Structure 1
Amino acid sequence: MTPSTSSLRPLGKAGPLLPRIGFGAMGLGGMSRTAVPLPDAQRLAILDYAHELGCTFWDTSDIYWDSEEIIGKWFAQNPDKRKDIFIATKFGGILYPEGGYGFRGDAEYVPIACEKSLKRLNVETIDLWYPHRLDGTTPVEHIVAEMVKLKEQGKIRYIGLSEVTAATLRRAHAVHPISCVQMEYSMFSTEVESPEYDLLKTCRELSVAVVAYSPLSRGLLTGTLQGPDSFEKGDVRQFYPRFSKENFPKNMELVDAVKTIAAKKGVTAGQTALAWLLSQGDDIFPIPGTITRDYIKENFDAINVQLTPEEAKHIRELVDKASVFGERYPAEHAHALFADTPLLEGWKKEEGETGIRGYIVPQE
């Protein structure tokens, strides 16, 4: 099924036209909800259904266990449908044998990571490729330069970034146009809008789209969760501060308000939360993740939920007034959020009224 053209928007300046709501495939690898992924047949059926609905912007990562592999199996079974899917993946995630994880973005590793993802995905070209996180040691200019080489070789089409500062985005964009920045963005996570970070403003100045991960705040905004005691063994939310026994009930105040608005419109709380994100601008692309058929449809159908100006204003007031209890990640998972990278040798920061505006080489 092809999405209606009215639901398509360009991903950044001169970017491809994509459905406003994508499919986040982290759970497809079993990483976020259970210790063991679903059987292959069930996971392939999930991808069949997403394609059938027209939900064809798929986002995964090389650290999401075997998510890339199962998508690769789907492409192998449906070679004629490869052209329908805009496949995005992220690279650099390193799982350590002794436990824990980190990220790599050095020049030697970037092409290696690309080849591995191409093989796992069973594709000749990755449509959109991001560093999952910056590694903290490699200047972003070097990372993007390596990605540009791969683009020139036809191995990737578009370049994105994830969880970066506005200054880092400017540095990267000076090397090659960045199509989008992937950031957590929801009613519970609006840091991307904050003048403190200046990131959404910078994205719009540079015509860079925002791909919003966890747009339902890991299910919190669906209004269907019963609390931390209801999570299955292996569900990572058991360790996330917003879902603790102390914080979960407090965060329900905003969720209950959203449920009330949704009930009046005859839609779900999750659809209302996604519709609100879409109303923040045509350059916002939420990618909710789920491994449940009904929720894939519910999420994708949020494209058709229209908020009135009054409803959008009311929700904004609720969001601005709400107290959010608990950080979005536990400390052990909070790797490189709003990350910057070392400056190129000889460069220095150029300060502006709203913070770092760029970087200049001192005159000799």
Structure 2
Amino acid sequence: MSGRATEPYDLLRPERTITGMSAVLLPHADPFTPDLDGFAAHLARTLEAGLVPAVNMDTGFGPTLDDSARQEILRVTREICGDAEFVAGAHVDDAPGARLDLDRYFQQVATIASHGGTPILFPSHGLGGVSEGEQLAAMAAVGERCDRFLGFELSRAFHPAGFVLSLEGYRDLLGIRSCAGAKHSSLERAPEWDRLRLRDRVRPDFMVLTGNDLAIDMVCYGSDYLLGISTFAPDLFAERDRCWASGDPAFHQRNDDLQYLGRFAFRTPVPAYKHSASQFLRLRGWITSDATPAGAPERPDSDRAVLAELGVRLGVVEQGVVEPGTGSRT
């Protein structure tokens, strides 16, 4: 019997320090009013946990905000973060069939950089509608205009303009030196393992940021993360990460419980996970309303009872917060 590990187990990296980035929920006081105080508090909570906050992401309703709202989020973020690192979504608002608007990406990246953030290039219909070669050329052009940015491979389960590069295209992405990493949100393990193996050979300092909320143990194989599920419990994700770095077997139970939460919250329709996040944060007493923006997918009230049970298991929600069988918060 060979002593060499077979794929993908050869990628396992025990006692590795994980870089955790957490997409920050933008809570709402009502369907038409963002709760900026609640956002600022949750942003501070994420920082205090030791995670890098990511704002104006899908979790923060970034694709549906207008420019003035995104800039207000950037202002609040800079105020809370100070000199601490943060990531922000660079969005181009367009419609199916639109042409690639590279100048708009340049403007968005410059705005984020001026606030001290690292831009992550959100897919747009224009970017998703061109060839892979043109997508990579666009990212290279962005890289010539900023010191540091992140790429983003996004499953269409999250956004209709999403796209995922071929492995050959990913190799070319690794060649863009100002691209420090890329979020991979195909929701599949195999392509992420392929990217990790390629990264290890070609550019070991490049961050493969898992966006797979259904497989959060990808960190064991060498991925770092930029997740939406971590906004439910940045404190517990940071605790889990410390367990992995120290070789503490408690990592596995904590990871299992967080994954259970992720599987429930990210079920179909996937975009409704943001409402699940609002429900869970309200159960934790961290926000005062679990409202979600008008037109956004919602979860049923009955989900609160399940989320409360999961919160009790995780040790962050008190027993009896939700009346049995009602879904109502007591």
Return the TM-score normalized by structure 1.
Answer: 0.48
Is contact 2:195-2:208 (8 Å) kept?
A: no
* C-alpha RMSD of the superposition: 4.5
Partners of 1:88 and 1:8 lie apart in 2 by: 23
Question: For each residue in 1:304-336, what CA deviation from the matched residue of structure 2 results, as whole angstroms up to 9, or x when unmatched?
Answer: 233678997xx99xx9xxxx99x9766999xxx
Who is 1:48 aligned against? Answer: 44
Question: What are the residue-to-residue correspondences of 1:1-364 with 2, within 5 Å?
Answer: 20-25=19-24, 27-28=25-26, 35-36=31-32, 38-58=34-54, 60-61=56-57, 62-65=62-65, 68-75=70-77, 77-78=79-80, 81-92=81-92, 94=94, 96=95, 102=96, 106=100, 109-116=101-108, 118-119=110-111, 121=112, 123-124=114-115, 126-132=117-123, 135-154=127-146, 156-163=147-154, 164=164, 165-174=166-175, 178-184=179-185, 189=187, 191-193=188-190, 198-207=194-203, 208-215=206-213, 217=214, 274=216, 276-281=217-222, 283-289=223-229, 295-306=233-244
Is contact 2:23-2:228 (8 Å) kept?
A: yes
Partners of 2:119 and 2:181 lie apart in 1 by: 9
Question: For each residue in 1:267-286, what CA deviation from the matched residue of structure 2 results, as whole angstroms up to 9, or x when unmatched?
Answer: xxxxxx74x332222x3324
Partners of 2:50 and 2:65 lie apart in 1 by: 25
Partners of 1:21 and 1:173 lie apart in 2 by: 20
Is contact 2:17-2:241 (8 Å) kept?
A: no
Measured after TM superposition, the shift of residue 147 of structure 1 is: 3.9
Is contact 2:240-2:251 (8 Å) kept?
A: no
Partners of 1:29 and 1:167 lie apart in 2 by: 39
Measured after TM superposition, the shift of residue 43 of structure 1 is: 1.0
Who is 1:362 aligned against? Answer: none
**SS of the counterpart of 2:183?**
strand
Q: In structure 2, do the counterparts of structure 1 residues 56 and 161 end up closer, same or farther at CA, with 3 Å as the change threshold?
A: closer
Measured after TM superposition, the shift of residue 84 of structure 1 is: 0.7
Please list every run of 5 or more consecutive structure 2 residues that lacks an aligned counterpart in the other structure: 1-14, 155-163, 273-330
Letter in 1 for 2:85: I
Q: In structure 2, do the counterparts of structure 1 residues 331 and 139 end up closer, same or farther at CA, with 3 Å as the change threshold?
A: same
Partners of 2:236 and 2:249 lie apart in 1 by: 23
Question: For each residue in 1:204-252, what CA deviation from the matched residue of structure 2 results, as whole angstroms up to 9, or x when unmatched?
Answer: 433343212252x4xxxxxxxxxxxxxxxxxxxxxxxxxxxxxxxxxxx
**SS of the counterpart of 2:26?**
helix
**SS of the counterpart of 2:51?**
coil
Partners of 1:21 and 1:103 lie apart in 2 by: 35
Partners of 2:99 and 2:17 lie apart in 1 by: 32
Is contact 1:130-1:162 (8 Å) kept?
A: no
Is contact 1:91-1:130 (8 Å) kept?
A: yes
Is contact 1:105-1:131 (8 Å) kept?
A: no
Question: For each residue in 1:33-91, what CA deviation from the matched residue of structure 2 results, as whole angstroms up to 9, or x when unmatched?
Answer: x955641111111112222332224254451536734531314534xx44212324243
Measured after TM superposition, the shift of residue 136 of structure 1 is: 4.2
Q: In structure 2, do the counterparts of structure 1 residues 192 and 88 end up closer, same or farther at CA, with 3 Å as the change threshold?
A: farther
Please list every run of 5 or more consecutive structure 1 residues that lacks an aligned counterpart in the other structure: 1-5, 10-19, 97-101, 218-272, 334-364
Is contact 1:193-1:200 (8 Å) kept?
A: no
Partners of 1:162 and 1:22 lie apart in 2 by: 16
Is contact 1:103-1:133 (8 Å) kept?
A: no
Q: In structure 2, do the counterparts of structure 1 residues 126 and 158 end up closer, same or farther at CA, with 3 Å as the change threshold?
A: same
Q: In structure 2, do the counterparts of structure 1 residues 170 and 278 end up closer, same or farther at CA, with 3 Å as the change threshold?
A: closer
Who is 1:253 aligned against? Answer: none
**SS of the counterpart of 2:221?**
coil
- Number of paired residues? 230
Is contact 2:55-2:73 (8 Å) kept?
A: no
